[in-house]
Structure formats: C-alpha cells, structure tokens
Structure 1
C-alpha cells in the first residue's frame, strides 16, 4: 500500500466528495474513510487505481447521503427545499490556488451545488460520477444496486434537473463581473429600476443565515421581488470586495475585520439568474479576509 500513490489521487477524490456532499469538512472525512478502506484492501489486482478509489469515495458519500435522508436532512422532491447552501470555495480575483483548482475542476458554480442537494442520493451519485468524473455506468451500477441501464437513467434524471434549474453561466468572467458590479452600484444608489434591469426576470435569491435569528433564511423568486428586498445588498455594498466563488463572479462583505457574508452569482446573457448568500457566522469563521487584500 503506497501512501504516495494515494496522495497522488487525493485532489480528485476530494473533488468527488465535495460534489457529492457540498461540505468541505465532510468531503475531507469521506476521503479519510477512503484512505482507511484503501489501507485494508488488497489492491494488487486493481488495474486502474484511480477508478477504484473514485468508486470507493462514491460509495462512502452515498452512505452519508442516505444517512442524511434517513434523518430527514435532505429535501424531498414534492416541496420547496429548505435553504441550506453548500460550502462555498472562495478565491481572490487572481484565481484559485492549486488545491482549490483541483476542487473546482469542471464546476459551474455554487448554484449547481445547490441543485445537486435536491437530487436523490442515487441520482446524485450517478450524475456526479458519470457526468463530472467520467466513471462508466458499469462501475456505477453496483454502487446503486441497479443495472447499468438503470444507472444511466438515474444520471439522465439528475442531468435534466441540473440543466433545467441552473442556466449555463456566461463563460466570460469580465461579463459576469460587469453584471455583479452593476447590481451593487444600483443597490448603493437605491435604484430599483436599475436593479430590475440587471436581474433576470426569473432570478432566484437564496440566503442562508444558519441558526441565527438575526440572519434569517430567505428564498425569493422574480426580479421585482428580489429588487424590492435589496436592503441587505444596499447595507453591504460599501463593504463588498470582489472575489471568485466556486470559480464564478462573487463577492465577500467584510465588516469589522470579519467576513460577514459570501455572495455567489450566476450571470447568463449579461443578467443575474441566481444569487446565493451565505451569512451564517459559524460557517464563515474559517474564511480569512486577508486572502482578499482586506
């Protein structure tokens, strides 16, 4: 059993676990559990160790997701999900560091992670492993206890949910940034019409304040509703610093030397289609504002 060999694959395994779980700490736990299983297993007959480790990580994550569902922590498909945002990956404008780069490979932003939380555990596993990490359905099928054809259907359902709920973001980061800057300029000025103009008509705003009553959970839909509730954006505008959140245009609000909120935006055709705001102080405490020149 080679420690060096496992460490070579750790970045991809952590990326798989993050897509599956939406939690950086749980992703690290899943990779550690994969390491323990690797240590106990005889892999001398394994031709493709990367694929073997990826499927082991997938199985560990699937068990964790099923445990969440048993405890009622995963939203059901027949109602509006609770707003609990995944952990964001926040980077300076200069770009992610190498560890973050590996974590975000093939990512399309935080909004995709939000939608992944609405999939069933089996759909999520099939979609993530196949569509994001090119694992064959023959290898996925045993994990979900289905045939390869059934695993393909699971991935297809997951893919449709993601595509329907998450518009493809503009590839040009400068175009994304222009829309986000316009949003905060309009918020600072209290310009309702300008806010509506920069927002997609069907924009979705999600805010996750955790268990803190002073930072309520919010779910709003529609440009006029979001613009009409832009009080927080107006209050935070002077404290905002531009960053990348999961590789797309975003912002952090730094107040009193602490990160007060992280805002992730999806910009499609020059308009903002989703705004995800994490302002749970318990989950933001580990983000160092000095990383963003504050």
Structure 2
C-alpha cells in the first residue's frame, strides 16, 4: 500500500464533509423534529432540546451515515454490493439505504442481536449472517466475506463518510434552535459523537460537547483520559447499540480534540430515562438512545442555566424487552 493510499484510508473528515453529507442525504433522510419538555427543563434547570433521531428512517441516526457512505460509492463499487457489521441500528440503516439506492447488502450481526432489529434488517431486503460476539471477531468475518465477494465494507463508525453523515443530526439541530452551550450524544464507537463535535464546534464555537457511554463499557472514557485508544472486553449492558470495545482510528482524533469529556451512566439510569420519555413525552427511545439524556437527568453533566442539545439516537427496541426493563426497575 502506498503512502497516499494509507492517507486516504485514514482520512479524517472535517466540517466541510458534514456539509457535503447534508446535501447528499437531503430528501432521503428525515429532518427529524426537535422536541422540548417543560418538565425536563424544570428537573434540570436547563433549556433542553431533544433531537429525536428515534424518528429517523430505520428508527435511528445511523441511516444518515449509511446513506451518505453508500451514495458516495462509484457505480462499479455499488454493483458489487456492500457489507456491514452491526448489533442492529447500523444493520437496518445499511440495509434500508442499500435498498433505496438499488445496492445489494449483506449484514453480519451478533447471534444475540435484538429480534426486532434482525427482523427489520431482513425486512429491508438484506441477507443476514450471524456470528458469536463473544468468540468471533466481527471484523475478521466481514473481511473474509469482502475478499470473497468484492463488496465494499461500510463500518458502523470508523469511516469518513459515515462520521460526516452522522454529524448532520447536530448540524440540523443548531440550524433549527440556534447557538447551544452544550451538546450531549451517546457514545459507542464514536461516529455520532465525532460528527456531532465537528458540527457543533463549527456552528457554535463556544459549545461544550460531551459523550456518554454505558457504565459497563467505558472504553471511550478511558481512551479520552489516557490520550490513546484503549480496548476493552465486550461489555454487557442493556445499551446494546453501544457495546463496542474501542473507538475508531478516525473517530478518536476528533473526540480527543473537540470533546469536553466522556461520562458514563448505569443501566438503571437508562431505564429511568426510557420511562420518562414514554410517560412524559409519549416516545419510545431505546436504551442506547437514552444515554445522553440519562447523563443530563442524573446530573452527571451540569447543565443548569444552559441551552443544551441532546441527541436521542434511536428507538428500536422490542416491546417485550421494554416491558421487562420497566418491570425490573
């Protein structure tokens, strides 16, 4: 591999890429609503603006990055199809985006992925290949299939066009509500947080950006504090969309430069936040989608007197699992 190809392979996106993604996905991704709650504002002493990506196509913000990445492929690459590995939301996003663009898709999913997400992925026409997340490396499985088929890999976060696409959520948020003092997003592999930081720092330079992980899987927090990527064992949490083991080579530099801090919340705080959205705002938000809100609601991030943007990243949860979480807490 030449030095040029290495540089291209590790290209770090900029805000200009987020702007380009916004144009590319316009008319295809939903411009999701920004919701407010006087009760939430009173509880936190802040003005909260919830970007409801739970209402995005495919039920999560992931559609933005998936569509942007596939649409950016040249015709020859599209003809060979795409591959993705995901616990669910990215899987559905790639499957749906590929269907809209007339591209074949194969998705590698863990055998314990939520049933609703597997069904959704297949429903969009993608082929699903299962692997054991505790015994197999999903990247190795994906690379093997890519070498056999020639399909382009669309990773869930460590991809310049994916990161840029995810950043359009916060770009829209700030365009709609104006300057923000704080932006908070869930953190798994870092695509949403990195893209959001690019948008927030460009449009609202004084804005402080925070990422939030499940307490059981704080690889991002460790990486941020240590100044280098830290890899952990596969964590166990109800936040199934954030069970990554390490940040990406492209997401980490952006997070290190533009993010204020990475916080964590326990599963109990996620259930409490899910209950709030269901009871007070009549919304279904999945555990991962509640990470940012849970940190604000529980006081992990001091937001008093501030204008705060919170990304609700997804709403794909089996109703039986939702009822089970509520019954357990």
TM-score (norm 1): 0.30
Give me the TM-score of the superposition, normalised by structure 2: 0.27
Larger Rg: 1
